[in-house]
Amino acid sequence: MLRKNRVMFTSIMIPHSRSTIGEEEAEAAAAVIRSGLLVDGEQTKQFERLVAEQTGAAWGVAVGTGTAALHLALLGLGVGPGDRVAIPSYVCVALLHAIRYLNAEPVVIDIDPDTLNIDPDALKRSAPARLKAVIVPHMFGLPAELNSILALGAPVIEDCALAIGAEYRGKPVGGQGHLGICSFYATKMITTGEGGMVVGHDADVLQRLQDLRDYDQLEGDTVRFNYRLTEMQAAIGRIQLRRLPTFLERRRHIATRYHEVFERMHCRQPIEIPDAVHAYYRYVIQSSDQHPVNLDQCIAQLDQKGVACRRPVSKPIHQLLNLKTCPDADAVFKRALSIPIYPTLTDQELATVIDAVHEVTG
């Protein structure tokens, strides 16, 4: 009976996310293991250089997770207890955790309901002159309005956890702010299983972050962190980064097919903005005001059809903090649905997703 249940579950479900990883990555990791050098080697240095090039930055500092990258980036900008750091409400809770690691104060900003990115006008109303930093995620692969945000004067950390490969005004995201961070979690644009990186241009910040990442055989009693990436992870990351153009091409192909179908339905599709290239980490549709749906019911019905769709964000930050300051994030949370989009989604699976979503939400 157990064996039968397991086969039924794995055979019908199209997952919401799926890693794109194979023999090349396995061989790269195995070669590192055979070498005996598992940390602090050339694989990590080369991976840092390649990610810096990809994001248009001068350098990269590899770390163990995307959250660790956020933590170090905030430290690199001198954020400490009581400092105010702005973040959008509709985002992964990791941003809030990183701010709290430093006993800093989160300033939660509403979003643009069309782009799902932080709203520059709402950010401007938050008194940016009093902010120590702003974390700007490029949500689901769509670049945020960086020029408007940078013009406000507060230091900007670009969060590219969902957007490596996207472009804004002809340049890759990640290297246009004061610092950028990447995540290489299992389901991200490229993966090392776990992992992250801070990228930037300032040589003094580079030295500071390299000092903070390690803790052994260093002078002084500064609090430091064991945030290193392993050589196996870096070797996998190098292969993944080389494959990124094909990953992006497949994601955009799937997005184009979704566009063709969903423009005929009663839902709002992801938008693109001028002078930007969307990476399509997620494909997020929203029910219209004229045709509202019960989102939890839709997700359950899609699960029954073997298609895993999910809320793009588990809960907005302002709701977690019991604030009532982000009406657009509230509205999006009620109507936004993320449907499968990843390079290993087959054409047959794509057709199944389209049929299921059309039947449940159309």
Which tens digit of pLDDT belongs to each residue from 123-162?
A: 999 998 899 999 999 999 999 999 999 999 999 999 999 9
Work out the pLDDT band at 95, boundaries 50, 70, 90.
very high
What b/e sequence results for 131-165 when a residue is b if at least 16 CB atoms lie within 10 Å of its CB, and e otherwise? bbbbbbbbbbbbbbbbeebbebebbbbbbbbbbbb
In the chain, the amino acid numbered 292 is: P
Measured CA to CA in angstroms, residue 1 lies from 5, 6, 8 at distances of 6, 9, 11
∠196-202-207 over CA atoms, to 5°?
70
pLDDT at 8: 35
At 4-42, the pLDDT tens digits run 333 333 345 999 999 999 999 999 999 999 999 999 999
What span, in angstroms and rounded, lies between the C-alpha atoms of 80 and 121? 26
Q: How many residues does the chain have?
A: 362
What span, in angstroms and rounded, lies between the C-alpha atoms of 47 and 190? 12
CATH code matching the domain that covers 244-361, chosen among 1.20.1250.20, 3.40.50.720, 3.90.1150.10, 3.60.21.10: 3.90.1150.10
Domain ranges of the chain: 23-240, 244-361
What span, in angstroms and rounded, lies between the C-alpha atoms of 304 and 353? 12
CATH topology of domain 23-240: Aspartate Aminotransferase; domain 2 (3.40.640)
Q: What are phi and psi of 211, to 5 degrees?
A: -70, -40
At 326-336, the pLDDT tens digits run 999 999 999 99
The answer to whether 23-240 and 244-361 have equal CATH topology is no
Place of tokens 């990442």: 213
In this structure, are strands 156-159 and 167-168 parallel, antiparallel, or unpaired?
Answer: unpaired
Place of tokens 């389901």: 187
Closest CA to 286 of 329, 227, 239: 329
* Beta-carbon contacts of residue 351 (< 8 Å; ≥ 6 apart): none
Measured CA to CA in angstroms, residue 299 lies from 1, 120, 129, 173, 265 at distances of 27, 32, 42, 32, 17
